[in-house]
Amino acid sequence: MTQEKQRLVIVGNGMAPGRMLEELFDRAPDVYDVTIFNAEPRVNYDRIMLSPVLSGEKTFEDIVIHDDAWYAERGVTLHRGEKVAKIDRAAKMVTSEGGLAASYDKLVIATGSSPFIIPVPGHQLPGVLAYRDLDDVDGMLGACAKGGRAVVIGGGLLGLEAAAGLKAQGMDVTVLHLMPTLMERQLDAAAGYLLQRELESRGIDVRCGANTKAIHGETCVEAVELEDGTMIDASLVVMAVGIRPSADLAKEAGLEIGRGIVTDATLRTSDPDVFSVGECTEVDGRVYGLVAPLYTMAKVAAEHLTGPSEAAFKHAETPTKLKVTGINLYSVGEFGDAEGTEDVVLRDAMRGTYKRVILKDNKVIGAVLYGDVADGMWYNEMLKSGEDVSEFRDTLIFGQAYQGGGGADPLAIVANLADDAEICGCNGICKGDIVNAITEKGLASLDGVRAHTKASASCGTCTGLVEDLMTLTLGDDFAAGAPAGMCGCTTHSHGDVRRLIKAKELKSIPEVIQELEWTTPEGCAKCRPALNYYLVSDWPGEYVDDMQSRFINERVHANIQKDGTYSVVPRMFGGITTPDELRAIADVADKFEIPTVKVTGGQRIDLLGVKKEDLIPVWDDLNKAGMISGAAYAKGLRTVKTCVGSDWCRFGTQDSTGLGIKLEQLLWGAWSPAKLKLAVSGCPRNCSESTCKDIGIICVDSGYEILYGGAAGLHIQGTTMLGKVPTEQDVLETVGALTQYYRETGYYLERIYKWADRIGYDHIKSVIYDDLEQRAAYFDRFIFSQKFAQIDPWAERVAGAEAHEFAPLADLTLEAAE
């Protein structure tokens, strides 16, 4: 007999209750019917990643934690935009302002916190915003579109992240901070000074010791007045001066309230059937605003909701980090001048780094690091363990690498961390969680770890640590199975580089190398082709293709062979040729004594064994005959394979040859992350092998089936159906849009099936097939980019046009690579 589920109602849908539900469903997926009341009209998202959304480095979709499908799969009822007005504990009933009601057996209150708005004159004017949720970010982005100056009141974490984001969006920014130095709760004066200097070097006006007197304007914000009479023009004011637990609802329900909703160590309130988690919660006299303790609350609450447990919330010092790209700071524990403490300090003025470790009774009680934060976790580990540092007191400030025993090895550093050492601050993930997930679930890729633990899935700063843990746990198995990073010149992944090129509007390779802090002066043969592709893809018409950053095959329009000769493949659109083209190929083979002429699997003719010195004259003769490069070497379209279709075949349902030619003419000339091979089959008999291509078309009586994501090389994979369309024009638009989406979001050398595995087939279908407006937008961008991103810079797009001269072959330096 199936046991009836209990009713769990959650008030609030932030990060803490979201994590609590994950823990609950992992432990006991069938215990509760869950109903959520969310005041915001959206799903759960990563609020600590709002700063990258504001700066343009991420989109809202990038920071969604639980999408609609997640709730649906677990049978969760989510009431969006329904703020709870009343909790009736006697009736065990929750009622929203919109009149929705739900009864509960267990209730979790997660109402979060509210921003503090300084009640100065003018604080209610349009253009005065807080910085707490996506609506605030949308308001700021709307103001950025109009330009002008933003005044950010508050020089703490949120205020500085807002200032950096607004500056990245093109606004002039002034930060007003009441205290003498920035982030005084997390940084000492020295680190605060370095932080202020860095922000000012980025063009942000920082004014410490500044007290706001009034905000002026008639119908909207126009200026901010300080106590000393200074007037600062402003079109936007962002208040980031602090938060308060949102406990009014619980207070009206008769629960015990202190600074927040008072709970015991199990997260139960004064009512044993009511729990509280998140920023609204007070445990042992403390309230919390950083994510790590909130996630600990979530885990403890989930354990007690699913059965008897010994789990208890315990206070732990939480490190502070600033979510501003390029600024490295780390603070944990105490850094005041309390009696009995001593400081160990290291400054490097040339490098702009500062390290301070605070000791008491030869134990670490705090650390403040700026610029060089590599040892932050090590100091935090000693703080938590209470280790006596007497034996290495003299070298403590130099970090773990100076303590002997191979400390300089990153793997040794990670190996020495305790299992409860926090690796991912954004998501509160410790070392033990990651190692257990790797071993228990058989994870062998970074994406797998991210999917199962969320470690490094947010800001990405802990990616190196996660990879070190995977190497330590898996050894060579991780090295073999892990997706390739960009290269040894940078710690950034391909995804980070793609994102930051757009967010920071970087439009040249030297600019990328400088702004993203490459460790080499000019990059290498691995990263420069990738950077060149990303810039060509992201800034069509603005970025000038750098041919010296292409592999040799792409620069000479030929494939280098094992004996040092080359193979040349002229283009034949859709596999169709003419007697004149065949004569030209034969004449070239005779004239240059080309030893092998072969028909390829893509229905083209390959001239193998061409000498390097003959490449220019070979292409010159082929161009004169109206033949252009077949791009058989390219990270772009190679061929569209076709069958004869309805013109000749008794089974053909559509003109597959004609459609293949149109597709090849549409797609030819555009670079893509990796090679693209297409096929069009005139009927379901699939003579063109459309079901194992990057993109395939199957012609049927009622239209065209569009498939993608196939592979038939080292990896064998059949295609996935994108959808069915009725006309040839629909095929062209859908394939063009799909290709553009791949070009804009793919990583260099990532085949389309790997891209689809990473992005998600259902998501791609929702963007390209289900959403006609998005499809049209991607197709429009595809057509625009086709004007600029041409695969053959020496020949016009139309066969038979006059060819341009080749670039000098003497300049070739990069080796061929696939």
Binding-site positions for siroheme read 687
Position of tokens 């095929």?
A: 731
What letter would DSSP give residue 256?
-
Question: How many beta carbons lie within 10 A of that of residue 189, not counting itself?
Answer: 13
- How many beta carbons lie within 10 A of that of residue 584, not counting itself? 20
Pairwise CA distance, residues 104 & 643, whole Å: 63
Residue with tokens 């343009």: 56
Collect all residues with Cβ–Cβ distance below 8 Å to 97 and sequence separation of at least 6. Answer: 82, 83, 84, 85
- Phi, psi (degrees; rounded to nearest 5) at 317: -65, 135
Give the DSSP H/E element, type plus range, for residue 656: helix 656-667
Burial class (CB in 10 A: 0-12, 13-18, 19+), 445: middle
Residue 239 β-bridge partners: 153
Residue 74: name the closest of 16, 8, 15 by CA.
Answer: 8
526 in Cβ contact with 533 (< 8 Å)? no
- Which residue positions form the known binding site? 643, 649, 683, 687
- Cα-based angle 453, 458, 463 (whole degrees, multiple of 5): 75
Tokens 């007697």 belong to residue: 579
> Could you give the CA distance from residue 369 to residue 186 in angstroms, rounded to a whole number?
10
How many Å apart are CA 723 and CA 733, to the nearest integer?
Answer: 13
Query: Do the beta carbons of residue 689 and residue 679 sit within 8 Å?
Result: yes
Q: State the CB neighbour count (10 A cutoff) for residue 514.
A: 12
Binding-site annotation: residue ranges for [4Fe-4S] cluster = 643, 649, 683, 687
242: region left, alpha or beta (phi > 0 left; psi from -120 to 50 alpha): left
- 763 close to 514: Cβ distance less than 8 angstroms: no
In this structure, what are the phi and psi dihedrals at residue 219, rounded to the nearest 5 degrees?
A: -110, -10
**What are the structure tokens assigned to 76, written together?**
């969760």
| Paired residues of 77 in beta bridges | 35
CA 592 to chain centre: 51
- Please give the structure tokens belonging to residue 535: 């810039």
